[in-house]
Amino acid sequence: MVRVFIPADTTACALGADRVAAEVVLQAQDRGLEVEIKRNGSRGAFWLEPLLEVESGEDRYAFGPVRPGDVAGLFEAGLHGSSTHPLFLGKVTDIEWLARQDRQTFGRAGVIDPLSLDDYRHEGGYEGLNRALAMTADEIVGAVTDSGLRGRGGAAFPTGIKWRTVLNTPADQKYVAANADEGDSGTFADRLLMEADPYQLIEGMTICAMAVGATEGYIYLRSEYPKALQVLNQVIATAEDANLLGKNICGSGRDFHIHIRVGAGAYICGEETSMLESLEGKRGLVRFKPPLPAIEGLFGKPTVVNNVLTLAAVTTVLAKGAAYYKDYGSGRSRGTLSVQLAGNIRRGGLIEVPFGASLRELVEEFGGGTASGRPVRAIQVGGPLGAYLPESQWDTPMDYEAFTEVGAMLGHGGVVVFDDSVDMLAQARFAMEFCAVESCGKCTPCRIGSVRGVELIDKIAKNENKSASFELLEELCETLDQGSLCAMGGLTPMPVRSAIRHFPQDFEVSSGSGVER
């Protein structure tokens, strides 16, 4: 019997993994071979998906990217560790792109069956919770604080401080809310984790609940991730059956329940207070802060709001110790960063490395440059509210402070590569347009400023009152920056200003050229 792994991940399936799996079944039948197909998650090497792996003893050998039409050939050339097929990649763990990474959070991704609790436990899962259950709340929060872990959603707020606030706020009810509203373009790490290693999120939330005294948890999942929803529904049910969720978890006398809430296509609901409103069944309008969600959060109760990757990282901190985790990283950015290489990139996917690698190293060495083969011109880091970086900034180390210093931000770790055909005026216009579409509407600079921003950039494109329009656009950016309630309006100027500052030639349109943007 041959055991074959084919990911059921969104990207792998978008590239035909289901059809590859069906073809493997057919070809095996035709040949009278017994083949067991396991649907794992993806390892995040999306440039190799669909990545088919064949088990041989302790090892797994990889083929990729496999199209349905390749499957017959794979059988003919041999589905084993000494295949002569052109798609044969050797031992999967020896693929350099994967081997060069340092996976703490994504170590199980693509290795295990995401739905199998046994697989998860076999690969170190629930060691963190086991330790946490033997610790006091104060000790758990202390470990998270000592690890130096900061929020992975983008704001990089120290997780331990947030947890401490919730722990120290007396209340009859507290909540843990996992922010799985991963809306930034160029990011897919939360999705990958939820599809490939979902118990890690469940375990992280449970540790958090034990630390702060919460009994109810919510996962706010965006509606654009239907596969993740299916997986999470299944693993929550399995965890409940195994007494890892529900009443009296593992005999600890502590209760914790997790509910999933699906968003409804609003980018702003990734902002934590907007997310809380949405969880309460309301319009996703951003709240004023204070009060902080840690003091008055969901339904007015103390609430930890953490990104999926933050909660996942907590399992490593608890299982291996704060010192172990803190040992990775650079400056005040401790641990590992999950970089997502996206856009026009030859070898795109998820790269987990300690903070501090340079953008150039990631894009050139891991990414292999553009998919189009043309020179890289601009790199947008940190989602639609992040800056466009020109080549002079590509040596910036990937850490929170270093990026802030150059007027950019790391955000959730999305890296979107553009080749030299990019029109930076169009990108600046899109930043304003996106803000206009997705603004919650609560504050004027964001709601109306973004519309005016689009109009001004259109004027600049048509060469109308150019210097006055530029001046007004800068004033508008200042107003958005200073006058908005949340990061949506506050950061929309970042991509706009960076495009103007670093790529001024794209805003030089000759009079009456009538360029259609």
In the complex, least distance from residue 89 CB atom to other proteins, rounded to whole angstroms = 18
User: Between residues 384 and 445, which has the closer beta carbon with respect to other proteins?
Assistant: 384
416 binds other proteins (CB under 8 A): yes
- Rounded to a whole number of angstroms, the minimum distance from the CB of residue 438 to other proteins is 7
CA 226, CA 80: separation in Å to the nearest integer?
Answer: 34
Q: Tell me if 186 contacts other proteins by CB under 8 A.
A: yes
d(CA 289, CA 442): 14
Residue in 262, 295, 451, 509 binding other proteins, rule: CB under 8 A: 262
Selected range binding other proteins among 68-76, 258-266, 317-325, 449-457, rule: CB under 8 A = 258-266
Instruction: Choose between 215 and 330: whose C-beta lies nearer to other proteins.
Output: 215
Query: Is 3 an interacting residue with respect to other proteins (CB under 8 A)?
Result: no
Say what the alpha-carbon torsion angle 181, 182, 188, 192 is, to the nearest 10 degrees. Answer: -30
Beta bridge partners of 351: 339
Q: Are strands 303-307 and 175-180 parallel, antiparallel or unpaired?
A: parallel
Q: How far is CA 448 from CA 443, 455, 459, in A?
A: 8, 11, 17
Q: Least CB distance from residue 490 to other proteins, whole Å?
A: 19
C-beta closer to other proteins: residue 89 or 319: 89
Contact status: 331 vs other proteins (CB under 8 A): no
Helices 198-212 and 308-320, interaxial angle, to 10°? 80
Q: Which of 85, 81, 84, 5 is nearest to 50 (CA)?
A: 5
Q: Is 349 near other proteins (CB under 8 A)?
A: yes
Q: What is d(CA 218, CA 276) in angstroms, rounded to the nearest whole number?
A: 10
C-beta closer to other proteins: residue 145 or 370: 370
Sole window of 27-35, 91-99, 151-159, 183-191 interacting with other proteins (rule: CB under 8 A): 183-191
Q: How many binding residues for other proteins (CB under 8 A)? A: 60
Please tell me the distance from the alpha carbon of residue 420 to that of residue 374, in angstroms, as a whole number: 7
Among 298, 300, 304, residue whose Cα is nearest residue 276: 298
150 has which bridge partners?
Answer: 158
- Applying the rule CB under 8 A, the residues between 128 and 167 that interact with other proteins are none
Is 515 a binding residue for other proteins by CB under 8 A? The answer is no
Smallest gap from residue 15 Cβ to other proteins (A): 5
- What percent of the residues of the chain are helix, what percent strand, and what percent coil, each to the nearest 5? 45, 15, 40
Rule CB under 8 A: say whether 13 interacts with other proteins.
yes
Query: Which residues 6+ apart lie within 8 Å of 284 measured at CB?
Result: 266, 268, 269, 271, 274, 275, 277, 278, 440
Q: For other proteins, which residue of 281, 290, 512, 514 counts as binding (CB under 8 A)? A: 281
Environment class of residue 493 by beta-carbon count within 10 Å: exposed (0-12), middle (13-18) or buried (19+)? buried
328 sits near other proteins (criterion: CB under 8 A): no
Q: How far is the CB of 380 from other proteins (least distance, A)?
A: 6
Distance of alpha carbon 150 from alpha carbon 144, whole angstroms: 9
Looking at 133-141, 404-412, 431-439, 478-486, which segment touches other proteins (CB under 8 A)? 431-439
384, 411, 453, 489: which one contacts other proteins (CB under 8 A)?
384
Confirm or reject binding of residue 422 to other proteins (CB under 8 A).
Answer: yes
Structural contact between residues 178 and 218, judged by C-beta atoms closer than 8 angstroms: yes
H-type helices in 243-304, by residue range?
A: 272-279
Out of 56, 116, 168, 185, which residue is the one contacting other proteins (CB under 8 A)?
185
Among 23, 53, 419, 506, binds other proteins (CB under 8 A): 419
Segment 299 to 318, residues that bind other proteins, using CB under 8 A: 299
| Contacting residue, 89, 117, 342, 454, with other proteins by CB under 8 A | 342
Of the pair 119, 195, the CB lying nearest other proteins is at 195
Amino acid at 208: C
Give every CB contact of residue 238 below 8 A, 6+ residues apart in sequence: 115, 117
- Nearer CB in complex with other proteins: 46/503: 46
3-state secondary structure of 320: helix
* Shortest distance, position 257 Cβ to other proteins, whole Å: 12
Position 506 contacts other proteins (CB under 8 A) = no
Q: Helices (H), strands (E): how many in the chain?
A: 22, 16
d(CA 304, CA 310): 11
Q: Which stretch binds other proteins (CB under 8 A): 158-166, 198-206, 250-258, 436-444?
A: 436-444
Phi first, then psi, for residue 506 (nearest 5°) are -75, -10
Per-position x/- string for 24-63, each x denoting binding to other proteins as judged by CB under 8 A, each - no binding: ----------------------xx-x--------------
Instruction: Examine residue 266 and tell whether it contacts other proteins (CB under 8 A).
Output: yes
Rule CB under 8 A: say whether 284 interacts with other proteins.
yes
**CB closer to other proteins, 294 vs 376:** 376
Closest approach, Cβ 31 to other proteins, in A, equals 28
Q: Which is nearer to other proteins, 132 or 363 (CB)?
A: 363
Whole-number Å distance between alpha carbons of 413 and 402: 14
- Nearest 5°: CA angle at 380, between 379 and 384? 160
Where does this chain bind other proteins (CB under 8 A)?
A: 10-11, 13-15, 46-47, 49, 182-188, 191, 223-226, 261-267, 278-284, 299, 340-345, 348-349, 371-372, 380, 384, 414, 416-419, 422, 426-427, 430, 434, 437-438, 440
